[in-house]
Chain A
Amino acid sequence: MIRVQQQDFDIGEEIDRLRAGRTDIGAIVSFTGTVRDTAKGAPVTSMTLEHYPGMTEKELERIEAEANARWPLHASLIVHRTGRMTPGENIVLVVTASASRGAAFEAAEFLMDYLKTDAPFWKKEEGPDGGGWVDARDSDDAARKRWSAQDKAAE
C-alpha cells in the first residue's frame, strides 16, 4: 500500500495495522527518513516537500509492485509526507514484511533506493543563512543502479 499525506504518521500504528491478523509473517523491516538539522554544514530550520500529485502515487505504486515481483513479500507499505516540516520530524516510512528476514531487508532497501531516484518529490531547505532546493546526489543514482547490476549478474 502507498500513501502521500501532509500529516505525520505513527510508526508503531502503521506496523500494527500491516501485521494485524497475520500469522504467516516472520520478519518485519521498517525504514524511517527524518528531517536533519544540518545540510552540508549549514543549519536547517525547516524543509518543504513539493510533489507531482498523480504521478507521485503512480510511481510509488510501480516501485512497490516491482519490489513485490522481486521478493516474496507478505505485505509492504510506503508513506511519504509533503509540505513543511521541521528537524526531527518524519518524512518517509517504508515497511516490508516477509516469512524470513532476507527478503524484507533487501526489499526495504530497494524501495528506498528507487523512491529516491524515481518518485517526483523535491526538497527545499531553509535556514538562518537562507536556503534552497536540495541537489540530487550521484550516490543515490549509484545505489539504484546496483539493483540492475545484480540482475545482470544473475542472468
Chain B
Amino acid sequence: MTVKLLYFAWVREKTGLGEESVDLPGEVKTVADLIGWLKARGPEYEAAFEQSDVIRTALDQTHVSHDAKIAQAREIAFFPPVTGG
C-alpha cells in the first residue's frame, strides 16, 4: 500500500524531508510498526525517531496514539508536540 508521509518541525529537519510517498510492507500494521520500519531506513530516520515516545502522529489529519492501526490511512504525519498559540 502506498501512503504519503509528512514530517514537521524538527522531525522534518532531521529526516531532511517534508514529505514522501512510500510503499508499506504488509507487516507494518500500526503507527509503532511504521516508526520501527522507518528507523531502519537510514541514520537520518534513526535520528528523527530516536525519542519515538515524544513524537506525535496524525492519520489522515486526526491525532492518534502509537498503537493506532494504520488501516486505510492515506496520509500519515509525524511531528513534535505542538507549540502554537
Which residue numbers of A lie inside 8 Å of B, CB to CB? 33, 49-52, 54-55, 58, 80, 91-92, 112, 115-124, 133-136
Contact = CB atoms under 8 A, between A and B. Distances in A.
Interface string B59-71: 0011100000000
Contacts of B77: 52, 55, 120
A121 B63 contact: no
A110 to B, nearest CB: 13
Interface of B: 6, 8-10, 58, 61-63, 77, 79-85
B81 A118 contact: no
16 contacts: A50-B9, A51-B8, A52-B8, A52-B61, A55-B62, A80-B84, A115-B84, A116-B82, A119-B85, A120-B8, A120-B58, A133-B10, A133-B80, A133-B83, A134-B83, A135-B83
Given A50-B8, A55-B77, A123 B61 contact: no
Contacts of B58: 52, 55, 120
Contact of B84 (A49, A54, A133, A135): A49
Contacts of A91: 85
